[in-house]
Structures are given as structure tokens and as C-alpha cells.
Amino acid sequence: MKKSVTGLFLAVCLMMALTVSAQQQRSQLAIGLGPNLNFDPGRVGISGYVKWYAPGLDMDHKGLVLTAKATHTPPSEGGFFKVFDGGKYDNITTGHLLIGYRFDFPYGLPTAGKVFYLEPSVGAGLLEPGNVGFSFSPQLGLAFDANWEGFLSYHGSWGSDSRNINLLELGAAYRFKL
């Protein structure tokens, strides 16, 4: 499994390098945060991400997206941020690396920066030490201007044992050019 994660990482790095060298436009970064509902235990948690958008999203209204994401569902008893507790609590804290493609659907004046978007992503999630699983995360959103956007997404990760996650996420993100 380590070889497949390493291979995915190297492929993503190669695509980033090819995309950057092929276009002269600037790439973008986004930082997002919001609450999530984890359906399996029925508890509310938090999700956060950092996304890298390949150059050309502004001009083409579509493009490659790489995401590093963390999700946390607190334990049913104990503090909210009982993360590295050695299995004492029933919290669910996961990390994900995703690759996706964003499709923008502009509306209003072209210079207003307002767009609806669809962003399907797939990748790998570390569900617990030694349990890496497939992750799928489609996101729908609305960019209010060139920097702020709101989103609604589903995130599912399925590992090698019964530790799977199914999240509904609602949040906001701030996007800026590098």
C-alpha cells in the first residue's frame, strides 16, 4: 500500500510540474473550514483543507485541483479534540490526499468573479494508523467573488476494515493567487 501511495504522490507532482510549465498563469491556493456530519456514528465534527489550483482556472473555468484534507469527529464522551489518545476514545480523525478537477459555471457579469462550481475528487485517506483507504469527495459550491466561496460536499472513505467515514460537509473557503 505504501508503494501505491508513493506512486500517487509522484504522479501528482509530475502533473503539477507539467501544468505549471505549460501555462504562464498563476496558480491559486484555498483554505477551507466547516462543520461536518458523520453519518456512521451520527456526530458533528469539523473538516479543513488546503487546495492547490493549477494555473488557468481563472481563464478556462476548469482545472486540476490537489487537496490535503483533515476531518475530525469527536468522541461520544470526553473532550472535542481527543485526537492522539491511543484508542481510549471513539473519535475519528483522518487525513486525506485528493486529486480532482474543478468545473466553473460563471453567472452575472464576467468581471464579478461569481461562479457555481462542481469539483469531484478522488484519492487516499489515512483512516487510522496502518489503514489507508479509497476516498471520494464531490463538492458543489458558490464563489461569491474572486476570493470567498461557500461549499456543500460529501466525503466518503473506505478502508481495509470497518473504519469507514461518510461525511456531509458545509463550509467556507478563502482562495488567493500565489
- Is the pLDDT at 17 greater than 60? The verdict is no
Between residues 12 and 39, which one has the greater pLDDT?
39
Could you tell me the residue ranges of all domains in the chain? 2-177
Return d(Cα 120, Cα 132) in angstroms, integer: 20
Contact 96, 71 (CB under 8 A): yes
The arithmetic mean of pLDDT across residues 18-36, rounded, is 77
The arithmetic mean of pLDDT across residues 133-147, rounded, is 92
Q: Which H/E stretch holds residue 152?
A: strand 148-158
Cα distances from 172 to residues 33, 35, 87, 148, 176, in angstroms, run 6, 10, 31, 7, 14
- Is the pLDDT at 79 greater than 90? The verdict is no
Give me the phi and psi of 164, to 5 degrees please: -115, 160
- Is the pLDDT at 145 greater than 60? The verdict is yes
Pick the CATH number of 2-177 from 2.40.160.20, 1.10.510.10, 1.10.10.10, 3.40.50.300: 2.40.160.20
Where does the pLDDT of residue 110 fall: very low under 50, low under 70, confident under 90, or very high at 90 and above?
A: low
Total-model pTM: 0.79
Q: Among 22-26, 38-42, 100-104, 174-178, where is mean pLDDT lowest?
A: 22-26
The arithmetic mean of pLDDT across residues 97-111, rounded, is 81
Nearest 5°: the CA angle 99, 102, 103 is 155
- Is the pLDDT at 166 greater than 60? The verdict is yes
Return d(Cα 60, Cα 111) in angstroms, integer: 14
